[in-house]
Amino acid sequence: MMTTPGFAPGFDAQDDFGDVTAEYSAVRDAAGLVDRSNRLRMLFAGRQPAMTLTGLVTNDVVALRPGEGQFAGALTPKGKVIADVRILARVDDILVDTGADCSPGFAAMIRRYVNPRLATYTDVSAVLRCVGVYGPDSAAAVAAVLSCAPSVVTALAPYQHVRVPFHETPIHLLRSTAIDGIGFDCFVPVEHAATLWDAFVRHDVRPVGRTAFEIARVEAGIPRWGIDMNDDTLAHEAGLDTLGGISYTKGCYTGQETVARLHFRGHVNKLLRVVHAAMPLRTGDAIVNASGDVVGDVRSVASSPRSGPVAIAMIRVAEHEGLVAVNDAGTRTPITVDIPSAS
């Protein structure tokens, strides 16, 4: 049986638990346990929380029913990404969850634009932890630890969530898309977070640190704000549309004019792509085509035990063959680009 004595999910997730390769294998081949409590969690309530959020993000929050959720972006007036968020509609309120790196910008946007007569908001990050379970065996592990029917867990579509008891304490179980869409996040009160973590460990779900989780994230091409995108990145460049994060039928919101213009134009000039190489890449490496033109740059980087050096890069849409990454020393490393198949 695995043990992590004295560990409690909180704001300082560990880089690893002693064996990055085994941790990576857990989230890829079995089930891995990840502390995601460093993310910002806010509760919105009041008279019109859904309408208020719909006017601030790229997706249609008003359309959500309790138990449903969605991915969305919060944008600048010029359509550039302030934050990427997960929105969970509950019976009496709405839970919004976003990454640690973009939380200051999102929180500032909320403070600036939310009318307190229409919606209230509360930062619950300190009292509500997030424990993630990812990998092909994650559904079975979650069902066993939470003592619920496997069908309750497997029936959840991405971003759907359900309230389930754990030691007579209600937690929210969310179907997550953090790594290839295979996994779940448990939003649990802080006083029960360590008990929930230990219960998964006793079920032989291996604790996974940030290093292994990041490798799997990069391989899956899931962008991270602050590295792969920022407030100089257009929503479409970051792939918010392909990730289901944009509604083109809802009402107005901050940045909508730019989003609509790009949608009707049909494409942007550059996109985030997963790239592979034989040698390690570095964040900031230039990507150059056969003519010597700089056509992109490397963002997140990782070294996968399974596929070797891998990265997320911003690359011109038309460029995907004969590319090399060039570092500050002038070293040239050929790269291959993953091109998503047409659906």
Predicted pLDDT of residue 181: 75
Q: What are phi and psi of 225, to 5 degrees?
A: -65, 140
Instruction: Output 179 or 193, whichever has higher pLDDT.
Output: 193
If phi over 0 gives left and psi between -120 and 50 gives alpha, with beta otherwise, what is residue 37?
A: alpha
Q: pLDDT by residue (tens digit) across 149-183?
A: 999 999 999 999 999 999 889 999 999 998 877 89
Q: Tell me: do 119 and 91 sit in the same domain.
A: yes
Residue 5, pLDDT score: 46
Q: What is the mean pLDDT of the chain?
A: 94
Asked if residue 173 and residue 213 are part of one domain, the reply reads yes
Q: What is the domain-level CATH number for residue 330?
A: 2.40.30.110
Q: Is the pLDDT of residue 4 over 60?
A: no
Q: What is the CATH number of the domain that holds 32?
A: 3.30.1360.120
pLDDT (mean) for 2-25:
78
Q: Which pLDDT does position 343 carry in this prediction?
A: 46
Domain extent for 82: 40-123
How many structural domains compose the chain? 3
In a domain, 141, yes or no: yes
Tell whether 53 is covered by a domain.
yes
Q: What is the pLDDT of residues 278-294, one digit of tens each?
A: 999 999 999 999 999 99
Classify residue 90 as left (phi > 0), alpha (psi -120 to 50) or beta: beta
Q: What pLDDT is stored for residue 39 in this prediction?
A: 94
State whether 29 and 175 are in the same domain. yes
CB-based contact 301:281 (threshold 8 Å)? yes
pLDDT (tens digit per residue) in 103-158: 999 999 999 999 999 999 999 999 999 999 999 999 999 999 999 999 999 999 99
Q: Looking at the structure, tell me whether residues 101 and 134 fall in a common domain.
A: no
Q: Is the pLDDT of residue 2 over 80?
A: no
Residues 148 and 95 in one domain: no
Check pLDDT > 60 for residue 255.
yes
For 229-245, the pLDDT digits (tens) are 999 999 999 999 999 99
219 has a pLDDT exceeding 60 = yes
> Max alpha carbon distance in the chain (Å)?
64
CA-to-CA separations, 46 to 69, 117, 236, 281, in angstroms, rounded: 19, 8, 32, 48
Is the pLDDT at 100 greater than 80? The verdict is yes
Q: Reply yes or no on whether the pLDDT at 15 is more than 50.
A: yes
Which band of pLDDT confidence, cut at 50, 70 and 90, is reported for residue 339? confident
64 with 88, same domain: the answer is yes
Domain-ending residue, one of 97, 123, 149: 123
Residue 50 CA, distance from chain mean position:
21
Residues 310 and 165 in one domain: no
Given a cut of 60, whether residue 319 has pLDDT beyond it is yes
pLDDT for 30: 97
* Percentage of the residues of the chain whose pLDDT score is greater than 90: 89
Quote the CA–CA distance of 86 and 69 in Å, as a whole number.
Answer: 7
User: Is position 238 within any domain?
Assistant: no
Question: Does 171 share its domain with 157?
Answer: yes
The residues, any chain, with a CB within 8 Å of residue 287's CB and separated by 6 or more, are 275, 294, 295, 296, 297, 298, 313, 315, 319, 323, 324, 325, 326, 335
Specify whether 132 is located in the same domain as 213. Answer: yes
Q: Of 88, 108, 123, which residue constitutes the final position of a domain? A: 123
Of 108, 123, 138, the last residue of a domain is 123
pLDDT at residue 79 in the model: 95
Query: 139 and 35, same structural domain?
Result: yes
